[in-house]
Amino acid sequence: MNAFPAADDDAYLDAPIEELKAHMSIARASNDRAKLSELVDALEALNPTDRCATSPLLDGYWETVYASPEPCWARGRPVLHVIESWCPQNLGPGAPGVLANPRGELWSDVAKGRGAYVQRARLRWGTIELRATYQWLGGETWDVEFVSRARLLFGLPLWRAPLLAPLPSDLDHGVRPTYVDGELCILRAPACTAGQTTLRSERVYLLRRRRNRLWQDGSFKGLSDRPLVGFDLDP
């Protein structure tokens, strides 16, 4: 028996969010990527969060549940996304933003007025890290500027190099958060083109939350709360 509604009816649009998430779990367990893609589109239509691109729900750590197409630089490994919005003043430890660490210092590589967006993929030997900054452009759109690429071992950089133009087409330029709630997030990166040639099609990420800065148990360690040695790579 088919566990999903037919693709050509409106059942998904009428389904409660939790029911859609249950369908997603089934599709993921069966590795049905085509069905996952349909369900992601349906979930976007039910986005419960106003002004999704500036919501404090975005701040924190997210693991990739589904990505299409998958980024080549991650070498087939799931990507961990870390988001920290910019805060205009130091509001003390635990407040959202890159100025909110106990010492009130800016996270390195982040210019004033821009948030931090980091992607990490854990390989067999170490972790690849891409650092970027972002600024809200209105609507759902972020202006994303990649800053550096690094190889980390036990959270410490073996090397770090700036990312200079022209940037690889595989990177996620112009990210749009189109859905976020307490559990899931959807990010879209537009297709990368050169003239009439498509270098990479639009990329869609379905993310599951690992940890959010708004949690009040004091356990969150973000980009601006760096420990004395290394980084909190696997919260």
**Ramachandran angles phi, psi of 20, nearest 5°:** -60, -40
**Among 117-126, 186-195, 209-218, whose mean pLDDT is lowest?**
209-218
> How far, in Å, are 5, 62, 131 from residue 118 at the CA level?
36, 10, 5
How much is the average pLDDT of 155-162?
Answer: 83
Element (DSSP H or E) covering residue 44: helix 33-44
**Residue 29, SS3 per DSSP:** helix
Amino acid in position 47: N
Q: What is the pTM of this model?
A: 0.81
> How far, in Å, are 97, 119, 134, 165, 221 from residue 55 at the CA level?
12, 19, 14, 30, 19
> How far, in Å, are 17, 37, 145, 205 from residue 27 at the CA level?
15, 10, 34, 15
Sheet of strand 141-153, all strands in order from the earlier edge strand to the far edge: 156-162, 141-153, 127-138, 115-122, 79-84, 60-68, 203-212, 184-189, 176-180
10 Å CB burial of residue 222 (0-12, 13-18, 19+) is buried
**Among 123-132, 196-205, 222-231, whose mean pLDDT is lowest?**
222-231
The confidence score (pLDDT) of residue 112 equals 64
pLDDT, one tens digit per residue, over 41-67 is 999 999 999 888 888 889 888 999 999
The confidence score (pLDDT) of residue 67 equals 92
Assigned CATH topology for domain 52-212 = Lipocalin (2.40.128)
Would you list the domain boundaries of the chain? 7-46, 52-212
